[in-house]
Structure 1
Amino acid sequence: MSTAQEVAEKEPISDLKKYLAEGIGTFVLVFAAVGTAVFSGSGVGQLGIALAFGLTLMFLVYSIGPISGCHVNPAVTLGHFILGRISAVKAGIYVAVQVIGGLAAGLAVYAIAQSLPSYNRTENGLAANGWGAHSPSAESGPLGRLVESGYGIGAAMTVEILLTALLVFVVLASTDQLSDVPLAGVSIGFTLAVIHLISIPIDNTSVNPARSIAVAPYQPGAMGQLWLFIVFPLIGGALGAVVYRALFGRYNRLND
Structure 2
Amino acid sequence: MVKKGLAEVIGTFFLVFIGTGTAVLSGNVVGTLGIGLGFGLAIMVAANTIGQISGAHLNPAVTLAFLVNKRLDVQEFIVYVAGQIIGAILGTGLLRLILGMTDLGVDNLAQTTYQGISTTGAFIIEMTLTAILVFVIMSVTSKKGETSYNGLAIGLTLTMLHFIGVPLTGMSVNPVRSLSPAIFVGGDAMSQLWLYILAPLVGGLIAAVIAKTLLQTEE
Confirm or deny that 1:76 pairs with 2:42: no
Corresponding position of 2:174: 208
Shift of 1:51: 0.7
Give the direction of change, closer, same or farther, for the CA distance of 1:250–1:47 in structure 2 (3 Å limit).
closer
Match of 2:37 among 48, 51, 63: 51
* CA deviation profile, 1:122-152 (whole Å, cap 9, x unmatched): xxx21111123xxxxxxxxxxxxxxxxx222
Give the 4+ runs in structure 1 shifted more than 3 A.
none
Shift of 1:44: 1.1
Stretches of structure 2 lacking an aligned partner (at least 5 in a row): none
Distance 2:134 2:158 in 1: 10
Q: TM-score, normalised by structure 1?
A: 0.82
Distance 2:146 2:79 in 1: 29
Corresponding position of 2:15: 29
Stretches of structure 1 lacking an aligned partner (at least 5 in a row): 1-14, 133-149
Distance 2:177 2:106 in 1: 21
Paired residues in the alignment total 218
Corresponding position of 2:203: 236
Shift of 1:250: 4.8
Larger Rg: 1
Distance 1:198 1:250 in 2: 27
Query: Which SS does the other structure have where 2:48 is aligned?
Result: helix
Distance 1:39 1:49 in 2: 10
Q: TM-score, normalised by structure 2?
A: 0.95
Corresponding position of 2:110: 127
The root-mean-square deviation of aligned C-alpha atoms, in Å, is 1.3
- What letter is aligned with 2:181? V
Give the direction of change, closer, same or farther, for the CA distance of 1:120–1:239 in structure 2 (3 Å limit).
same
Distance 2:14 2:106 in 1: 24
Q: Equivalent residues in 2 for 1:92-107 (5 A)?
A: 92-107=78-93
Match of 1:195 among 157, 161, 172: 161
CA contact 1:39–1:113 (8 Å) conserved in 2? no
Distance 1:29 1:231 in 2: 20
CA contact 1:126–1:215 (8 Å) conserved in 2? yes
CA contact 2:143–2:217 (8 Å) conserved in 1? no
- What letter is aligned with 2:34? G
Confirm or deny that 1:172 pairs with 2:138: yes
Corresponding position of 2:213: 246
Confirm or deny that 1:18 pairs with 2:11: no
Distance 2:137 2:36 in 1: 18
Query: Which SS does the other structure have where 2:71 is aligned?
Result: coil
Percent sequence identity over matched residues?
41
Distance 1:244 1:184 in 2: 16
